[in-house]
């Protein structure tokens, strides 16, 4: 059965990892969106691996907390609480996974109803870009208004048939954006974010981090389009025009990686028009250093455990008084007789030698 203290420790430690990623991103806010995207993705990946690290790595008790004396719960009551917590977690995780499953089924319906790419204009734009699209499946559909992509192992690129009426520059920018998603493996980062949200559906920090990942990956692909030579004002206007026609499929489009992620479109427009924004590719040494620092911080958290001092044992209850009839009379205590000091013994006088007795002369006869 699960230990509630261990579960609480994992929740607290994953929150600290997300907060640390936020502080890193804030300190390095002048870096590109691609750099911040890698940092946030690494943070959620470490959150997914946190339970395994807590269970497998040796723990070191470095924090001791004193607990107030409480009445221990019966063992049956404790097992009921643990079972209720596990059941609640399973219900929340199942609902989140069911939501993603429904969206995935919708994407499969899109793919089934789509047709292979036959548009000569889209094909010409792909040939002009020179992207080798043999390792991905390119389809076109009438059900969408903007290009989108999904899939980790075999990516799918779905193009709208209405794109034939777009100017060449708009089709070029749209393809550059979606192909940047495929080159960056953004579908894998979306999968990591979904797993983290399913495991920690009760933690709002994880949901904020997942939303941050989606926003940053769109901005990173916008930077790729601008690096290819697109005009910022024209590209921003193109995004606004495309977003105006995608409101009907917004929920389903969230399961894929599209150009117009509505919740972050305003921030993207501001970033596109910002002339001082950093749009270069992140340097690998900086990415490795930031991710390694976050990894070491996570390992440190996983090996730290809190030692709670057990409460002092309760004092034994006082003995019940016996009836008066059972009490024996107490024996009076006789005070001890004080011992008087002995008088000093007088010194013995010295013994004088005896006087010798002279012999008496014999008495003669009288005349």
pLDDT tens across 22-81, in order?
999 899 888 899 999 999 999 999 999 999 998 888 877 665 555 544 444 455 555 677
Answer left, alpha or beta for residue 350, where phi above 0 means left and psi between -120 and 50 means alpha.
beta
On whether residue 252 sits in a domain, the answer given is yes
Residues in the chain: 367
**Residue 243 pLDDT class (50, 70, 90 cuts):** confident
pLDDT at 107 over 60: yes
Tell me the backbone φ, ψ of residue 336, rounded to 5 degrees. -70, 140
C-alpha span between 213 and 200 (Å, rounded): 16
**pLDDT(345) > 90:** no
Q: How far apart are CA 175 and CA 128, in angstroms?
A: 11
Q: How many domains does the chain have?
A: 1
pLDDT in tens, 228-239: 889 999 999 998
Range 6-11 average pLDDT: 84
| Phi, psi for residue 28 in degrees, rounded to 5 | -110, 40
Question: How high does pLDDT run on average in the chain?
Answer: 81
Question: Which segment of 120-124, 195-199, 253-257 scores lowest on mean pLDDT?
Answer: 253-257
The dihedrals phi and psi of 130, each to the nearest 5 degrees, come to 80, 25
User: Does residue 345 fall inside a structural domain?
Assistant: no
Mean pLDDT of 174-192: 92
Contact 145, 162 (CB under 8 A): yes
pLDDT band at 305 (very low <50, low <70, confident <90, very high): confident
Alpha-carbon distance of 192 to 40, in angstroms, equals 11
Distance of CA 153 to the CA centre of its chain: 27
3-state secondary structure the chain: CCCHHHHHHHHHHHHHHHHHHHHHHHHCCCCCHHHHHHHHHHHHHHHHHHHHHHHHCCCEEEEEEECCCCCCCCHHHHHHHHHHHHHHHHHHHHHHHHHHHHHHHHHHHHHHHCEECCCHHHHHHHHHHCCCHHHCEEEEECCCCCCEEECCCCCEEEEEHHHHHCCHHHHHHHHHHHHHHHHHCHHHHHHHHHHHHHHCCCCHHHHHHHHHHHHHHHHHHHHHHHHCCCCHHHHHHHHHHHHCCCHHHHHHHCCCEECCCHHHHHHHHHHHCCCCCCCCCCCHHHHHHHHHHHHHHHHHHHHEEEEEECCCCCCCCCCCCCCHHHCCCCCCCCCCCCCCCCCCCCCCCCCCCCCCCCCCCCCCCCC
Q: What is the per-residue pLDDT for 111?
A: 87
Domain assignment present for residue 335? The answer is no
41 domain residue, yes or no: yes
pLDDT at 118: 87
Whether the predicted pLDDT of 88 surpasses 70: yes
Do 206 and 92 form a contact (C-beta atoms < 8 A)? no
The CB density around residue 267, as the number of other CB atoms within 10 Å, is: 13
pTM of the shown model: 0.76
Distances in whole angstroms, Cα of residue 87 to Cα of each of 11, 17, 112, 206, 216: 17, 26, 37, 21, 34
Please list the residues that pair with 116 across neighbouring strands. Answer: 139
At 45, list the tokens.
């990946």
105: domain range? 4-309
Predicted local confidence at residue 145, as pLDDT:
82
Largest alpha-carbon pair distance within the chain? 202
* Closest among 72, 87, 74, 73 to 1, alpha carbons compared: 87
The answer to whether residue 356 is domain-embedded is: no
Q: What percent of the chain has pLDDT over 70?
A: 71
pLDDT band at 298 (very low <50, low <70, confident <90, very high): very high
Token readout for 259 is 């150009």
Rounded to 10 degrees, the C-alpha dihedral 95/101/105/110 comes to 100
Higher-scoring residue by pLDDT: 60, 99: 99
- pLDDT of 213 reads 94
Q: 306-333, pLDDT tens digit by residue?
A: 655 555 666 666 655 555 555 555 666 6
Q: Does residue 252 carry a pLDDT above 70? A: no
User: Is residue 303 in a domain?
Assistant: yes
The whole-number average pLDDT for the span 279-296 is 92
Average pLDDT over residues 225-230: 91
Give CA–CA dist 222/358, Å, rounded.
Answer: 155
Averaged pLDDT, 192-213: 94
Closest C-alpha among 147, 201, 200, 197 to residue 174: 147
Whether 89 is covered by a domain: the verdict is: yes
> Does any domain span residue 25?
yes
Mean local confidence (pLDDT), 147-157: 88
């Amino acid at each position: 059965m699960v230990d509630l203290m261990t579960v609480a420790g994992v929740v607290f430690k994953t929150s600290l990892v997300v907060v640390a990623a936020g502080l890193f991103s804030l300190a390095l806010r002048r870096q590109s969106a691609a750099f911040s995207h890698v940092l946030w993705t690494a943070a959620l990946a470490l959150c997914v691996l946190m339970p395994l690290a807590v269970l497998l790595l040796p723990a070191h008790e470095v924090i001791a907390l004193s607990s107030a004396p409480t009445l221990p719960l019966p063992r049956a009551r404790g097992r009921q609480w643990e079972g209720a917590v596990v059941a609640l977690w399973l219900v929340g995780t199942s609902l989140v996974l069911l939501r993603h499953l429904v969206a995935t089924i919708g994407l499969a319906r899109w793919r089934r109803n789509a047709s292979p790419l036959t548009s000569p204009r889209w094909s010409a734009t792909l040939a002009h870009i020179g992207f080798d699209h043999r390792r991905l499946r390119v389809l076109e559909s009438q059900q969408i208004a903007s290009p989108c992509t999904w899939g980790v192992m075999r990516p799918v690129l779905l193009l709208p048939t209405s794109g034939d009426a777009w100017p060449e520059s708009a089709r070029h920018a749209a393809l550059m954006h979606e192909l940047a998603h495929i080159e960056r493996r953004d579908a894998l980062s979306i999968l990591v974010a979904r797993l983290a949200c399913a495991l920690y559906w009760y933690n709002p920090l994880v949901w904020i981090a997942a939303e941050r990942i989606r926003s940053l990956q769109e901005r990173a692909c916008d930077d790729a389009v601008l690096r290819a030579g697109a005009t910022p004002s024209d590209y921003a206007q193109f995004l606004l025009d495309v977003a105006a026609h995608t409101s009907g499929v917004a929920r389903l489009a969230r399961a894929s990686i599209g150009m117009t992620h509505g919740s972050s479109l305003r921030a993207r427009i501001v970033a596109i028009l910002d002339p001082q924004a950093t749009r270069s590719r992140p340097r690998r040494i900086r990415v490795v250093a930031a991710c390694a620092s976050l990894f070491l911080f996570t390992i440190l958290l996983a090996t730290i455990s809190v030692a709670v001092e057990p409460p002092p044992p309760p004092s034994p209850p006082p003995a019940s008084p016996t009836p008066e009839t059972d009490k024996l009379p107490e024996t009076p205590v006789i005070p001890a007789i004080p011992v008087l000091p002995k008088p000093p013994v007088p010194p013995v006088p010295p013994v004088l030698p005896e006087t010798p007795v002279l012999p008496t002369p014999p008495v003669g006869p009288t005349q």
